[in-house]
Amino acid sequence: MLSAEIAAVAETAVVGEQVQGLFTVVRYTPSALRPDMKRMKRYREAAARFVSSRFLPFVAFIQKSLIRMNLFELTRALVDIESTTNHEKNVGDYLFAHLSTLTSRYNGNIERIPAELDRDNIFASWGEPVVTLSTHMDTVPPFFGSREDGDLIWGRGSCDAKGIIAAMIAAAEKLLAAGTRNLGLLFVVGEERDSAGARAAAATPRGSRFLMNGEPTENRLALGSKGALRYEITAHGKLAHSAYPQLGHSAIHTLLDVLHAIRRIPLPHDPLLGDSTLNIGTIDGGRAPNVVADQAEAEIMFRTVGDPARTREAVSAAVAGRAEAREVFYTPALQLTKVDGLPTTVVAFTTDIPSFEGTWGQPFLIGPGNIHVAHTAEERISKRELSEAVDIYARMAAQLLATGRSAA
């Protein structure tokens, strides 16, 4: 089987007994993977030597060999494609090629759902989609490629959420091979920043009644997730020589005072979700150490557990007359439904689910991987959890299709 680091699509057109063509499209080939290009070339040359109606079974075998990667190979192939937020095009092209063969094999459909310029969601379906498995293609920076050992696959996006993409595709293949229909796969852009892909999908629903959203929950069904409230705080000052600070006004000093006040805001508690929290994510400002700063800004995020009205009022009071607070993103906290037979958890992160606004059906949140290593230099995912996730997704989808409810 061809190494998972290369995504390929082999297509054969036959008119009567004549083979019109056999070609391979390589979707992504980072320099580190060039040794595998020699192997790809050998596949092409071998196929070309035998292209005739006499050898059509051989051609069909080559087609399947090029596409059918195992779960771990596909995970690594996806991780090795850089797709930090706003740069998802290459991984989207890869998934479109990979899923095109799956839709062709099982009489499905595949389409791109535009979210922004050069940023498309990928949606594959078989029959009328009643259950849709969905997660995101983008990752946080910085990009770094994959490696693996006996138990783990490492690399940016391995658990958040490219391993989940691979598990969902494997689950769909398992269901389709068993004759299941009315299934969809939806992979979206932008979850790590502003849920642009989920919002675009919400504007173009496809009739799905259940949405299985994948995020790292260690294969436990999340009963709730916190919301997010993000601000940009901007302070202005007056330039002066730092030897004469009384002639200017430091925007940095003002910003620090404002942030101190914001840190003292009492934050609410929820019995299920726990405490609301605050993170000061970035601070920037000033021009030089010997110049009084005329500008400074910070980005902050609250993880909310309920109605954010009082938090918004407190932020406005903290900056009043001293700085500007611009709300740039908000998504609400969620409480979700149980499914019989699955262990449960509660998560502090937020997801695309609120941005879908219910348009793709009742949501469920579950996936392999530990959120504590997501977004870190040690991001990794357990091979055991990946394999278990395939079975969990397949069982959940089959149950929802059979009963039309979560049974809880």
Short-list 355, 278, 351, CA closest to 311? 278
Give pLDDT < 70 ranges for the chain. Answer: 1-69, 405-408
What's the pLDDT score for residue 340? Answer: 86
Name the DSSP letter for residue 161: I
Size of the chain in residues: 408
What's the pLDDT score for residue 406? Answer: 59
What's the pLDDT score for residue 23? Answer: 32
pLDDT digits (tens, 9 = 90+) for 113-124: 999 999 999 999
Q: What are the DSSP calls for 235-273, one per residue?
A: EE-B-EETT-GGGSB-HHHHHHHHHHHHHTS---EETTT
Taking each helix axis from N to C terminus, what angle separates 163-177 and 383-403, rounded to the nearest 10 degrees? 50
Query: What are the φ/ψ torsions at residue 174 (nearest 5 degrees)?
Result: -60, -45
Give the 3-state secondary structure of 35-76: HHHHHHHHHHHHHHHCCCHHHHHHHHHHHHHHHCCCHHHHHH
CB proximity list for 165: less than 8 A, separation 6 or greater: 78, 95, 135, 137, 187, 214
Which H or E run contains 95?
A: helix 89-105
pTM for the full predicted model: 0.79
d(CA 387, CA 297): 45
Q: Which residues are catalytic?
A: 191
d(CA 59, CA 52): 9
Alpha-helical runs (H) found in 156-250:
163-177, 196-202
What's the pLDDT score for residue 402? Answer: 93
Q: What percent of the chain has pLDDT over 90?
A: 80
3 state SS of 315: helix
What's the pLDDT score for residue 237? Answer: 98
d(CA 346, CA 336): 10
